[in-house]
Structure 1
């Protein structure tokens, strides 16, 4: 069965784009109307399948196979990572070690504003750089709730804090993919993103504290806000511009944590701020734990960090994949879809890399940690089973949303919306980040968004006479603002703090903040394209380098 995509099935691009956007509008409306996340996801996927069949003419078999492919990807590696992250956290809670962590954090600062900066912003960014795939929100939000945070605020501020590091997440994977798709060197994209996101990184700590406590109370911790934001932004800029895309989040997150801890050793806010509705403080501040006890309590997270960093290196991935990986095509899907340019749509085989997946690193780290925290493996098995039951509805949400994303991509619906935005002429640099935002909202991943739209971003920019590195980087930078409202992220955040079934509350909490940050990135991108063009790094397109190498090879062969 061969079927050709149609980018404009209604012979009116604007109308076709409106129809393609209907599933996006539906899931927005359902979540705003407080419909449970898994129901919203299933309804959205169903509407997408219906539209691809009725309007786009996609055979029902191909639409269902596309949804199946996306559902498998949602289960693995995405849900696999989330299960591992929540399992590790639950082990620390059930073993009693999290009580020690809470006391330790309270000894650094009992102030909720400062705890949010340390855990949601700095520690979350570090986890994003090392793992990604939802682990930062799952772990940091659960930690904040364990410390006594209001669950909605814990998940909400972790989602908002997770914007600044997303483009460099998973050891720079989104930038690496953007480079491969656009033929622009990794270093150039890393530099350009590293000259955009540090501006956001400076804003986010203040934004978080004002959101929690209001402007007046945030000024009481202004030194901490400055130290947290400036240290993170500086090291994010430094590493992305001079070291590449792999380590900005890891280094910036660590630097921000260390700088905050040094500051809090010599400076304290005049008053301790807590949520007005939170329960009475239950931590016994009179209890003093030894360094060995504190180290034991933190050992699951230390081991997790070491494993995640190791799993992020390509030689480790290659070695693990050499031992165990399964690859298979979805029968009847590959080479069955013809793109609008006449070439077949290449659909990569589903990879069940059960050893090299980040979720496996989390599972192994937890299994090693179980005896270290004084828990038996039989109790560990019971904890794992309860974790699966805890996450059953978020798993349905994620599977259905990723299934919808694959249907939208394979049918051409995503490209319809993208081409409509690309037709905005000189205003395209302003709309360029919106493409990235849309891609992350649809797929839940900055990497997937870059794979989907970066070629279109580069081609459209060249047509307008704008440097393509600006719009390609804007896809990654704009995408980070869509992460906080992606249904996948919402499901992860809700599951981590016990708000399953209340995803709509979390969605409405983060929605306006997503738009505020997106508009900021749009304005910055416009300025980079037309006003402060000196900020664009000098680089040479990968394609042109390859052509020169090919010409030199031919010349040398001729001389011989």
Structure 2
């Protein structure tokens, strides 16, 4: 019964969002959160203080994804209103008007690099509007962006899902490195198929066949350095692989290598070099700030994450409110429990780099006061529905994690593992995907299910490194269907009530990804790695 009640809210959520006349996420998710609350209260007997504390924590935690979404929307509205998007669209069309080239350069290589620097759903939020600006269908672009943004995710945000996601397991440094190496190997094999499936959403098989050489040049340009670097480092594979892949893809597309010639109806003189440089300035500054604030050796990352208490006060029974020197706002011991929540104002990619970039760029582009007002007011309005969706999602997640080893999440994981035994290799990645589906994060999925995967591997005699690598791969492929990412990209593209339609499409390549991962784990990984 515990398993049935634990898995029922997830099944119901999926049904509500994919059925005919599906409910939008900002309606479905709060209702499912209320259902989970009722199950915790009446079946699991969770005390009201713990439930209230987790709801309060969810409201604090929601500031992270919603401010990232707001920042991305703000940046994209600025790009539209300032004319940046129009200039970039014309410039990219003049690099090569072939739609396959545009999709691979922006949707694959560019997003690959941004994932390596930031994560948090930022790649789709930045890349998707550029593609829509080039004339592609918004819903199909959202689907493509979600499918493409899977291979680099395990090393996104400078490797956070790998080194932080498995941190609580107290693994040796060399084992974390081996997990990263196996993860990159599996992703690299999947990359031979997944980007092609993503392209098929927007172009025909015939178009793919005619441009196949360029597609694989772009894929290999990202994946080869990504895989090689992952053998010795688990922080920079996606960032470095994406940067090399982006430069190589632009170079090859500019020379029309491996691409079908397409009639170019754009005016070659539509934009000058000066206009292009100016239009690229906000994006370049955005990427530069992301990289500088994420590279550990430069020291800014440590300053932005400095948790040393600067100010502290008791907010009655609500809890202890603290501000750190790194401007981390924390609420601790909420309602007398051990539940805490925090918001990293400087480190979360919202104020820095999105808002700061826009504020710097506004005077450079000499925008009027009315346009500035339109940028900010429109961004706040566009963020409203995602806020309610994410509050519902995070309350659901928080309550499903209540209970430690007896939580609803752990009950689901343990039942899956027990049912499969030594055949767990076939299903391991899908548990990671479930974690990403309801948490919206490869990192959270690894934190949540890492211990279940470790325990299952040890119990069944399977390789711990292999199973944890499959968990990480699963958390990455789950990005295709995770509610947070879908809400984020839909919000940026101003798509309403299409979450269910998107999930029905992206779940197919996600399932295929899991099959590829299992086959790699069984037949290929043992040939190249000592387990």
TM-score (norm 1): 0.85
State how far apart, in whole Å, the 2-side matches of 1:527 and 1:124 are: 30
Asked if 2 retains the 8 angstrom alpha-carbon contact of 1:71 and 1:400, the reply is no
- 1:24 and 2:10 correspond: yes
Q: Does the Cα contact within 8 Å between 2:96 and 2:256 map onto a contact in 1?
A: no
User: Which of 498, 501, 526 pairs up with 1:502?
Assistant: 498
How far does residue 534 in structure 1 lie from its aligned partner after superposition?
Answer: 4.2
Distance (Å, rounded) in 2 between the aligned partners of 1:289 and 1:267: 20
Give the whole-Å Cα distance in 2 for the aligned partners of 1:38 and 1:27.
12
Aligned-partner Cα distance in 1 for 2:288–2:530: 33
- Work out the CA distance in 2 between the residues paired with 1:310 and 1:399: 31
Unaligned runs of 5+ in 1: 1-14, 274-280, 336-346, 539-560
Question: What is the aligned partner in structure 2 of residue 419 from structure 1?
Answer: 414
- Conserved in 1, the CA contact under 8 Å of 2:143 and 2:201? no
Once residues 268 and 344 of structure 2 are traced to their aligned partners in structure 1, the CA distance between those partners, rounded to angstroms, is 48
Tell me which residue corresponds to 1:375: 367
Distance change in 2, residues 1:323/1:69 (3 Å): closer
Partner of 1:364: 356
Q: 1:323 to 1:428 in 2, by over 3 A?
A: closer
Q: Which of 271, 279, 298 is matched with 2:280 structurally?
A: 298
SS at match of 2:449: helix
Counterpart in 1 of 2:437?
Answer: 441
Secondary structure at the aligned position of 2:330 is classed as: strand
Which of 189, 202, 221 aligns to 1:199? It is 189
**In 1, Cα distance between equivalents of 2:426 and 2:113:** 30
Task: Please say if residues 109 and 242 of structure 2, whose CA atoms lie closer than 8 Å, have aligned partners that are also in contact.
Answer: yes
User: Hey, what does 2:317 align to over in structure 1?
Assistant: none
Could you tell me how far 1:446 is from its partner in structure 2?
0.4
Residue 38 (1) aligns with residue 34 (2): no
- What corresponds to 2:313 in structure 1? none
Report what 1:535 is aligned to.
528
Aligned match of 2:177: 187
Aligned residue number for residue 354 of structure 1: 345
Instruction: Check whether the contact 2:194–2:509 (CA below 8 A) recurs between aligned residues.
Output: no
2:395 to 403, 410, 423: 403
Contact 2:101 2:253 survives alignment (8 Å): no
Q: Which moved more, 1:519-528 or 1:159-168?
A: 519-528
Q: Is the 8 A contact 1:37 1:397 kept in 2?
A: yes
Q: Quick check: 2:109–2:249 contact (8 Å CA) kept in 1?
A: no
Flag the structure with larger Rg: 1
- Does 1:469 pair with 2:465? yes
| Distance in structure 1 (CA, Å) of the matches to 2:477 and 2:471 | 10
Instruction: Name the SS for the 1:374 alignment partner.
Output: coil
Q: Which moved more, 1:441-450 or 1:428-437?
A: 428-437
Could you tell me which residue of structure 1 aligns to residue 252 of structure 2? Answer: 263
Are 1:67 and 2:51 counterparts? Answer: no
Deviations along 1:259-301, one digit per CA (max 9) or x if unpaired, are 212222322633539xxxxxxx9x8524342222111001110
Which residue, 128, 135, 150 being the options, matches 1:163? Answer: 150
Q: Distance in 1 between matches of 2:18 and 2:475?
A: 21
Q: Relative to structure 1, is the Cα distance of residues 189 and 178 closer, same or farther in structure 2, using a 3 angstrom cutoff? A: farther
Equivalent residue number for residue 136 of structure 2:
149
Deviation at 1:357, TM superposition (A): 2.1
Tell me the number of residue pairs that the alignment of Structure 1 and Structure 2 aligns: 499
Structure 2: how far apart are the matches of 1:508 and 1:205?
18
Q: Aligned to 1:108, which of 86, 90, 95?
A: 95
Residue 78 of structure 1 corresponds to: 65
Q: How far, CA to CA, are the matches of 1:533 and 1:503 in structure 2?
A: 39
| 2:238 is the alignment partner of 1:249 | yes
Change (3 A) 1:496 1:249: same
After superposition, the C-alpha distances for 1:98-130 in whole angstroms (9 at most, x for unaligned) are: 211111010012222221111111111111111
CA root-mean-square deviation: 2.0
Select the residue among 118, 124, 134 that pairs with 1:131: 118
Which runs of at least 4 in structure 1 moved beyond 4 Å after TM superposition? none
Distance in 1 (CA, whole Å) between partners of 2:159 and 2:433 is 18
> Any unmatched runs of 5+ in structure 2?
307-324
Q: Deviations over 1:226-263 (max 9, x none)?
A: 10111111111011112x12111111111211221222
Query: Which residue number corresponds to residue 318 of structure 1?
Result: 302
SS state of the match for residue 328, structure 1? strand
Pairing 1:446-457 to 2, within 5 Å after superposition: 446-457=442-453
Match of 1:239 in 2: 229
Aligned to 1:328: 331
Q: Structure 1 residues 210, 284: CA separation in 2 closer, same or farther (over 3 Å shift)?
A: closer
Contact residue 179 and residue 189 of structure 1 kept, 8 A? no
Distance 1:390 1:352 in 2: 22
Looking at structure 1, the residues matched to 337 and 229 of structure 2 have their Cα atoms a distance apart, in angstroms, of 40
Partner of 1:352, secondary structure, is strand
Question: Alpha carbons of 1:267 and 1:483: their partners in 2 closer, same or farther (altered >3 Å)?
Answer: same
Q: Is the Cα contact below 8 Å between 2:158 and 2:236 reproduced in 1?
A: yes
